Amino acid sequence: MGIIEAIIYGFIQGIAEFLPISSSGHLALAQNFFGTETENGFVFNIALHLATLVSVCVVYRKDVLLLIKGGFSFLSKLFTGKLKNGFDTNEKMFLMLVVATLPLVPVKLLGLDETVETLSGISWAIGMLLIFNGIMLIISDRIKKGEHNFENGGYTRPLGVGIVQALLGIMPGISRSGSTITGGRILGYTREEAVRFSFLMSIPAIVGACVFELPDMFSEGISAEMLTPVIAGGITAAVVGFGAIKLLQYLAKNKSFTFFAVYCLIVGAAAVIGDLVI
């Protein structure tokens, strides 16, 4: 893989990881149509995901700091037997994120994500899932305005959004952010809160995915020739990811997701037709 290819993949990862159009689906289609084989694939994949993780942490740095504070505070109460005193806002926000992440654990342990990943090599299947993603975004725009934010509610809504992420977000062609935002909207969150919670949920999801891939990364290693492309792709993904988050924040406040829905419908249809006809 050359630097230009790495930058292209970094751009796709950065813009599609956070915009509700499915990064996994787009990367898979790019690889299927162009036939690109990625040397040191695990390393490159981890680099792109860590880069997008940086984007989330920068944009939501205040929330991230509060989550870290809440996590340490919760652990302190846990080990000192003070849980009966209840939780403050930061601790509750931390627990909400933990609850939302729990459904991913059995998915990873059972290897369901790897089973689903076999669809990545079937372009028409990705196209169908992109069409489903577009329909899902249309539904999200039609849901009546919610009124809840995730810190001040119960644990049922975060768990529900987490289940949606576990069932749909692992599919190549279905956007993790799109599915969790739609799930949040259905469960009563405002659009801004649904977007915010979706991005915060991506932090443990990305970290967890990278941790599970570390053994493969260390066993595979990285060649000297791939070092520069990995860095170039990572920087591109981080910068583009930052812009994508800011764009979605703006759209959540002022616009609809219709453009992304139509885009997914068109790309999905093109992928199905192209794979079945060509």
Tens-digit pLDDT profile for residues 72-130:
999 998 888 888 778 888 999 999 999 999 999 898 888 887 778 778 778 888 899 99
- Report the percent of the chain where pLDDT is more than 70: 91
Residue 1 has pLDDT above 80, yes or no: no
What pLDDT does residue 71 have? Answer: 94
What is the signed CA dihedral for 35, 9, 210, 59, rounded to 10 degrees?
A: -160
Give the Å distances, CA to CA, from 256 to 20, 134, 241, 261, 264. Answer: 12, 13, 20, 10, 14
Bridge partners, residue 148, by sequence: 189
Is residue 99 within 8 Å of 158, Cβ to Cβ? yes
Enter the DSSP assignment of 120.
Answer: G
pLDDT category of residue 242 using cuts at 50, 70 and 90: very high
pLDDT category of residue 158 using cuts at 50, 70 and 90: very high
How far, in whole angstroms, is CA 159 from its chain's centroid?
Answer: 16
Residue 26 has pLDDT above 90, yes or no: no
Residue 160 has pLDDT above 90, yes or no: yes
211 three-state secondary structure: helix
Closest listed residue to residue 249, CA positions, set 177, 183, 186: 177
Is residue 159 within 8 Å of 103, Cβ to Cβ? yes
229 three-state secondary structure: helix
Q: Phi, psi at residue 148, to the nearest 5°?
A: -100, 150
Is residue 186 within 8 Å of 161, Cβ to Cβ? no
- Which comes out higher in pLDDT, residue 146 or 12? 12
What pLDDT does residue 222 have? Answer: 66
Give the Å distances, CA to CA, from 278 to 25, 28, 123, 270. Answer: 19, 17, 11, 11
Is residue 21 within 8 Å of 133, Cβ to Cβ? yes
What pLDDT does residue 46 have? Answer: 81
20-24, 31-35, 79-83, 136-140: least confident range: 31-35
